[in-house]
Amino acid sequence: MKRTFLLLLFTVLTYSASAQTATLRGRVLSATDSTALAGATVMTPGGSVNTMCDAQGLFSLGKVPRSTRTIQIVFLGYATAEITVAIKSATLDLGNIYLKENTNQIDAVVVQSEAPMSIQKTDTTQFNAAAFKTTPDADADELLMKMPGVVIQNGRVEAQGEPIRKIYVDGRLFFGTDPMAALKNLPADAIESIQIFDEQSEQSRLIGFDDGNSQKAINIVTKAKDGKSTLFKGEGSGGTDLDDNNRKFRYLTGGNFSRFTPAQRITVTALANNVNTMKFGQNELADEVKVDNNGNLRNQPMGVQRITGIGTNYSAETKKIRFSGNYFYDNNRNELENLSENDYFPDPRGLFQSKHVTNRNNSLTTNHNNRLNFRLEWRINANNTFILSPRINIQKNNRMEQGRSLTLQSKESGLPLDSANRNTTDYLTDNFNYSIAGNATFAHRFPSKKGRSISANLTYNFSNRSQDRLQHDLERASYKKNKQNEYYWAPSSNPIDRLTDQVTTSNLLRLRLTYAEPFAKRHRILFNYVMSRDWGATDKQAYSNRYKKEPEHIPEYSIRDSSQCNSMNRDYSTFGGGFGYAYYSKKYTLNTSVDFQSIRQQREEIEPRPDKRSQSFFDVQPTLTFRYSLEKSRYLKIQYRGRTVLPRIDQMQNYVNNNSPTNVRVGNPDLKEGYQHTLDIFYNGSNVRKSRNLTITINAMTRSNIVANSTEVMPRDTLIYPSAEKTPGTGVMVEEGAFVRRYVNLNGYVAIRTSGTYSMAVKPIRSNVNLSMNYNFIRTPSVYTYLNYANIHSGGVRVGITSNISENVDFNFYSNTVFNYTRNSAKDNVSFLNQNLYYSMSVILPLGFTFNTLATWKYYTSSSSTDFTSSFFLLDVGIGKKVFRHRNGEFRITAFDLLNQNRNLLHYVYDDRVNDVRTNTLGRYILARFSYRFNSMVHGKKRAPKLPAGENFQEIDLKDLKKMSNLPKNSSGKPAKK
């Protein structure tokens, strides 16, 4: 009885204690420009209960005693605010809280300490810009590259192992979905801190329930505390190549202007050059950087480019409306010389032991890109919000190309060739693409109960791709033996002279309705309904040339080539629903949901053989996200997702594509949907006192029914049909030795990617050291006559040392070692090693003289046979002179590739071959440049007033300050202002 009584008493007291506490919520903003004050501390008097605001300025302060009458909000640079509260319920919403800028100044004491490198605020990693020194004329991307876990390469920005999709400046979207444009148009000395965080979907942020759809984003916090600033940077350069055989004029000119006010922000930027400098990111419509199933990074920039572009970004904010939008136009003219060496694995049936294919292509490509996107947030009232965010892309592309190829083949390794073929082909291609995509979201919060909400999200995507392509063989011949055992080049009996016209449309509409309901204290459940339609069509028509008689010789493409014609429609309809559960606490959150969907697939083939097919299947899509914050400096995130993956429409086209007669592609209309499991683990920890940071990222993925290649070598001239049914007019003659590749479904695909970055400040050399390691394993199934599994092991070690000495001395050293070893179950193994060393130094000497140098050494070796240059050394050297009062103007002369060794080498591993690519690039050239920059946050500041007579200026270390029991007194006897 005594134990029972004590247990009941304890339960009653515990419930009573919990009933005497409440949760306070709100948002902390700047009174000057209404920007969110991320990191502001909200606490009860004495600080016994406290929390920090997130990137949006939102906070949730739990376990607040109901007897509390005031709370305090503290943020560096702003006056401390005290809010009177009357707690009458378990949850109290304080709305927006505005802090005024603190105008008090230090009278006599300046506290000096090492700036902390980073701090962790739940899912946000915040880096202090003061801990990373850059030169006065550096852009934001140069500052960001010094930070641990950040890699900027080929117009692509990655942080913590994931691509950056958006850039915010003081909480406002900046240049939409083009991170490089944002970073190139913001000076480094205007930045106070950089926050890297997981941005949830619009619907998740509005209803407070994580649906698992997040992406990496960056918020740049500027030094403009009053919300007003003017930024300008302009430059003009002219020079020439230093190659006597091919001397061309080189130029680079451009600039950007930004004006920020509390109500509006506008940025205008322009650029024109022929030295491969790009201030805008990759075009999302046709030039997106992708990694294929074998781990190869595709669509890397190559050739010598002439680039002209202009863009603008505008944002405005009122009490109810927040708008941000941008527009880009760029014209890119690319001259490309491409040499590709392909070494094929031996044929399992013994048709050849060695096969080497050399391709040489010269092309001239002109791109015209238009991109427009904006985000409109309408806060209708306290309980209703509407967000519209469309993206419009329009691209026109013209390409003239001539390709030459030579194939050498031998049945026995080490013996002379027994067969070969060569061809020369002209291509002329015109493309026009457009897409309109985006989201529209509406959310309603019920005032009767906190946390109860209903929302609707509409996702849309409409795209059209049209292509006109002319392909004309100038020569196509095979090396054959006649009856006298003499070899000769025999012309092909089926050369290609064809004009094709192809149009592909793709459309998507998806509506998701969500209802969220809180229960108990920290729990919430969610119900949703989803319906979508994904439909599209493709139509390809091909015409062969009918030559007219002498003397006109005018081509007339009027003979319809039915074997290359294809037309089909597809339609996927989805209906379903699901439920979710969420639990929130101060240290961790748990979000889990399951969607059940019924999918109906319909496909109608019109050409080359009429056919209708439909099927239905049931789909389950689970999501689980777990977040855990440890000691406010460590953060762990674990996320699992299961998704259905549908084959692309081009993979299901039922025809034989012989655009490349030696590499023939056959579609497969019977491809099935696949299912993908993805597990992501992310950990970040910061030690503020020791300026150390550790980031670990693990990504694991498996996929069933992956769309893979089935490759077969033709033992003789063979007529190939797109399907088992040999419909007349659909067959294509394929020559002996050619590869025929079909799309097939295979199981067994596994991909595991791991990376870790450790950074620390090394005081003896006044530098930051970043150590990164990564290991990737990809298991890719394919068929090369027999089933093969390619087990690809790759990884690397990256060491970075960045100076933190001063603005006048800046150096960066990076060493990046990358290895790849591919072990095949049914063919030869292959490996390669790539080593890059990078060193840059910028020094501002007395009297404003400057010295800049950039040195790069690249080494490459491979187990495949190639005659490519294995190593080369690049050296750029520049000297200059700073001018004007603030030294914000500069004359500079720079010699690029002083040793004339520049090369562009790429290496790819496929399921049937190893591919080494060498392209042309800029050689040795020299530029004379004048640049001018203005930053009102730096150059517009007034000089600090001199101290009054009799006042002693002291420099006190932070450790010594902590030992003091009282602040120093001023002349009036009162404590000095803090």
Q: Produce one character per residue of 939-954: b if its CB has 16 or more CB atoms within 10 Å, e if not.
A: beeeeeeeeeeeeeee
Question: How much is the pTM?
Answer: 0.76
3-class DSSP state for residue 963?
A: helix
Nearest 5°: CA angle at 197, between 191 and 200?
A: 130
Does residue 482 contact residue 467 with C-beta atoms inside 8 Å?
no
| Cβ count within 10 A of residue 256 | 24
| Residue 205 φ then ψ, to 5° | -65, -35
Residue identified by tokens 């049945």 is 411
- Rounded to whole angstroms, the Cα distance separating 932 from 181 reads 19
- Residue 289's pLDDT is 38
DSSP string covering 822-887 = EEESSS--EEEEEEEEEEEEEEE-GGGEEEEEEEEEEEEEESS---S--EEEEEEEEEEEEESTTS
pLDDT at 889: 93
Successive 10-residue mean pLDDT values, the chain, 978 residues: 49 46 84 74 75 78 79 78 82 84 46 60 80 85 84 76 83 82 85 85 72 79 79 93 82 92 90 82 39 55 85 90 92 91 82 84 94 92 92 94 88 64 90 95 88 91 94 85 76 85 94 90 89 92 72 72 87 92 85 90 84 86 88 84 87 83 85 92 83 89 92 84 74 82 92 91 85 92 87 90 86 90 80 88 91 90 62 91 90 92 79 83 91 82 39 38 40 42
Q: What is the pLDDT of residue 211?
A: 65
Six-digit token pair at 92? 């109290």
Looking at residue 539, its pLDDT comes to: 92
Q: What is the pLDDT of residue 960?
A: 42
Q: What is the dihedral of CA 234, 238, 241, 246, to 10 degrees?
A: 120
Give the side-chain half-sphere CA count within 13 A for 307: 22
